[in-house]
Structure 1
Amino acid sequence: MEKEATQNATITQRPIERKKAKKVEVKHFVPYLLVSPLVLWIVITIFIPLSTVIKESFYSTGFVGTQGEFVGLQNYINVFTSSAYWGSWKNSLLWVVGNGLTQTVLAFSVALYLNNKFKLSKFARTWMIIPWIIPTIVVAIFWQWIFNGSYGIFNHVLMGIGLIDQPLNLLGDPTWALPTIIFINSWHWFPFLAVIILAGLAGIPEELYEASAVDGANKWQQFWGITFPSLQHITFALGLVGTLWMFNIFDVIYTLTEGGPAGSTTTVPVQIYQQAFDNYELGSASAMSVVTAIMMVVFAVVFIKFAAPKDE
């Protein structure tokens, strides 16, 4: 009797165990099912185009959609010996450094000022982001109007107060074109950085500043001793993502100057675009893209290795 009861219990228990096993299998499968659409989207939008670019870099393709001849590493040899490509790197470095310094100074200045409690601080925090939310094409159009050499308000004001005798064509001058679009782009993007820095400042305990004030620290010493170290994770993220993002900006440069005058604002993205769609050398442009991507990956790895904040 006991044997029969044990056998019956075992037989009854097996379906329950199978159901539990099936539930475990389903639970194990669900996360992959939820992530699969995103993975599929990444494969379609990133890896397939990337593999196509790598493939085209070994062909002498001219127009998009045409089939060129296999040329091996010739496109890469042309890239490494191209003075135009390395000249665009010089402009890109000036572009990144200029924007980085200008936006950092503006963002920190505004964030530190708005972090103080004053009557219109909430109002100022809200309206500060207006330059950032304006579409790039709109920014380019109204700054072109402001700096226009014939009817721009910038020249009108300077001539009205007697600082200049004749209009300045800032966007048409090889010396001033790059600094001018750096200023325009920094004006457009610094509110975004300021909002992030302001959020970081809100997380710093007031007690640290009070204790340092008791010890005789001034505002400058408090900034370098408390504020800046407390924001190291934020500044690291902004430094990495911001640099890569800034390097790849194309729209504002091409809209304002199309890389001119005389190539003075031709950065690497603009150079690649012109090579592909103006010179109709898609294979050469693909090789430029691959070389540029590799250099950006190397920069990111080095930056992370040496600039990542050390958690104590």
Structure 2
Amino acid sequence: MTTLSQASSVSMRAEQTRLERRYAHLGLLLIAPTVLIFSAVIVYPLISAIYMSLFSIFTPTLEGKWVGVDNYVQLLSASEFWWSLLNNLIWTVGTLTLQIVFGIGMALVLHQNIWFRSLARSLILFPYFISTVVAVLVWKWLFNDLYGILNHLMMSAGLIDMPIDYLGDMPNAMISVILVGAWKYFPFVVIAVLARLQSIPDQLYEAAKIDGAGAVARFFDVTLPQLREVLVVIVMLRAIWDFKEFDLIFLLTGGGPIISTQTLPLMVYKEAFALNQLGMASAYAVVMMAIMLFFMIVYIRKTREKSA
């Protein structure tokens, strides 16, 4: 009997092992398309960029020679790189801060029971869905120092005596770019925060009112802690997207005046297609990726420490 029982047990374990292997093979087969697509659109371009950054490549012919880390040495020793990085940080921090402030404020308004709430919720998405090219054309018309409506209204109201060059002078150019970026992308914050606000239990606000908390106290003691998790995700996503923003800044100022609003994505474009140095452009792209990765790791660690 003992021998028969042991044989049965061995047979069951063997069958279980075969099933586990079959499920493992099925799992690999199911995720294989995802892995292939991920490798094609992310891994391969990343490896190619790192590889090309070690060469001096002439963009039109794609011919070049091995230079090793010379591109990185030249990049880090160039004042234009550090100036562009500073502009990148100013743009990212400035526009992200305004997006968070305006986004939370607008989400709180749209969360209230107002009669035009449905219409307002639809219209608030307009800046986010509109084409960047169209948005830039409208804002460049508003900012124009000769026939722009913004200067016209301000001069008519007696606020200014002379037209302001919003996009051709500093710090006006950087402020204008940040404002346009915040206007364009703050609806993303509104959508995410509004979705979280609707899931906060009303009992928390009722308990806070019973304790005598006013509107401001309820926001900081109830609403903001409940929004912490979604704000962590919003800040991380929007920081990544804003840091690599190209088209809006390029179309508004082209990095000007001179290089006053030039960011690292514009430097990549400049090196690759204006100076025809594809290897140097790849080095800029790799350094840019490393900077984003560093800040994201620090940010994730800090948020985990606070939540713990």
Question: Aligned partner of 1:79: which letter?
Answer: L
1:254 aligned onto 2:260:
no
Question: Aligned partner of 1:47: which letter?
Answer: V
Secondary structure of 1:69 counterpart: strand
Secondary structure of 2:217 counterpart: helix
The separation in 2 between residues aligned to 1:224 and 1:257, in whole angstroms, is: 39
Matches within 5 A, 1:240-251: 240-251=236-247
Matches within 5 A, 1:208-227: 208-227=204-223
CA deviation string 1:8-57 (max 9, x = no partner)? xx9xxx9xxx9999876554433322322221112112221211111111
| Residue in structure 1 matched with residue 37 of structure 2 by the alignment | 41
Q: Which moved more, 1:191-200 or 1:278-287?
A: 278-287
Secondary structure of 1:217 counterpart: coil
| Residue in structure 1 matched with residue 4 of structure 2 by the alignment | none
Q: CA deviation at 1:189?
A: 0.7
CA deviation string 1:40-78 (max 9, x = no partner)? 112112221211111111111121552211111111110
| Residue in structure 1 matched with residue 3 of structure 2 by the alignment | none
Q: Which runs of 5+ in 2 are unaligned?
A: 1-7
Structure index of larger Rg: 1
CA deviation string 1:267-305 (max 9, x = no partner)? 111112111111111111211221221121111111111
| Residue in structure 1 matched with residue 191 of structure 2 by the alignment | 195
| Residue in structure 1 matched with residue 82 of structure 2 by the alignment | 86
Matches within 5 A, 1:45-60: 45-60=41-56
Q: Give identity over the alignment, percent.
A: 35
Q: CA deviation at 1:248?
A: 0.5
Structure 2 CA distance for partners of 1:57 and 1:64, relative to 1, 3 Å: farther
| Residue in structure 2 matched with residue 171 of structure 1 by the alignment | 167
Which of residues 85, 103, 125 is equivalent to 2:121? Answer: 125
CA-based RMSD: 2.2
Asked whether the equivalents of residues 131 and 191 of structure 1 are also in contact (C-alpha less than 8 Å), the reply is yes
The separation in 2 between residues aligned to 1:129 and 1:200, in whole angstroms, is: 17
Asked whether the equivalents of residues 233 and 309 of structure 1 are also in contact (C-alpha less than 8 Å), the reply is no
Question: Aligned partner of 1:200: which letter?
Answer: R
The separation in 2 between residues aligned to 1:34 and 1:144, in whole angstroms, is: 49
Q: CA deviation at 1:83?
A: 0.3
| Residue in structure 2 matched with residue 156 of structure 1 by the alignment | 152
The separation in 1 between residues aligned to 2:15 and 2:295, in whole angstroms, is: 52
Question: Aligned partner of 2:245: which letter?
Answer: I
Q: Which runs of 5+ in 1 are unaligned?
A: 1-9
Q: Which moved more, 1:202-211 or 1:31-40?
A: 31-40
Q: CA deviation at 1:164?
A: 2.2
The separation in 2 between residues aligned to 1:102 and 1:32, in whole angstroms, is: 44
CA deviation string 1:103-160 (max 9, x = no partner)? 1110011011111112111221122111111011111111111111222111221222
After TM superposition, the runs of 4+ consecutive aligned structure 1 residues lying more than 6 A away are: 18-24
| Residue in structure 1 matched with residue 274 of structure 2 by the alignment | 278
1:301 aligned onto 2:277:
no
Question: Aligned partner of 2:225: which letter?
Answer: P
The separation in 1 between residues aligned to 2:105 and 2:250, in whole angstroms, is: 29
Secondary structure of 1:68 counterpart: strand
Which of residues 176, 180, 188 is equivalent to 1:180? Answer: 176
The separation in 2 between residues aligned to 1:294 and 1:25, in whole angstroms, is: 39
* Alignment length (residue pairs): 299
Secondary structure of 1:33 counterpart: helix
Asked whether the equivalents of residues 236 and 308 of structure 1 are also in contact (C-alpha less than 8 Å), the reply is no
The separation in 2 between residues aligned to 1:95 and 1:140, in whole angstroms, is: 16
Secondary structure of 1:93 counterpart: helix
Asked whether the equivalents of residues 64 and 282 of structure 1 are also in contact (C-alpha less than 8 Å), the reply is no
Q: Which moved more, 1:134-143 or 1:159-168?
A: 159-168
